[in-house]
Amino acid sequence: MLRAVADTHAVIWYIFADPRLSATARTTIEQIAMDGNQIGFSSIMLAEIVYLSERGRINADTLDRLLAAVDSEDALLVEIPFERNIALTLRQVDRSQIPDLPDRIIAASALYLNVPVISRDRRIQLSSVETIW
């Protein structure tokens, strides 16, 4: 069962065991995994990862590591395609609160699926979207 949607930084920091992932986020992710549940990530994140890799802002093998994690048996991380219902839910995510389109899509995915977002993004945290960090 899907228990949360993670943003780009949370996913990257989790798969690289980066200490920038908060203790609360790490504990939440580990508990979801131990319970046999899953964490979703928006398909928009795949494009973000390619972009950030090309700009040298993240490790060049991030996409490969993420896809390997997704393709593993009993995968914790699962891709959430950006589709019509999420686009409609996007209307509920106030652009003045979350102006960045990928972040709005991530927030809308969580709202549509009725789960919290795992995110360090202050704008998401200050919005009406339930956030874990």
Output Rg (C-alpha) for the chain, integer angstroms: 14
CATH of 2-132 among 3.40.50.300, 3.40.50.1010, 3.90.180.10, 3.10.580.10: 3.40.50.1010
Question: From residue 37, how far is each of 11, 44, 47, 125 by CA, in Å?
Answer: 16, 22, 25, 23
Question: From residue 60, how far is each of 50, 52, 115 by CA, in Å?
Answer: 9, 9, 30
Coil vs helix vs strand at 56: coil
Tell me the two tokens of residue 34. 């131990």
Domain locations in the chain? 2-132
Coil vs helix vs strand at 42: strand
Give mean pLDDT in consecutive 10-residue pieces for the chain, a chain of 133 residues: 97 97 98 98 97 96 96 95 97 95 97 98 95 97
pLDDT of residue 61: 96
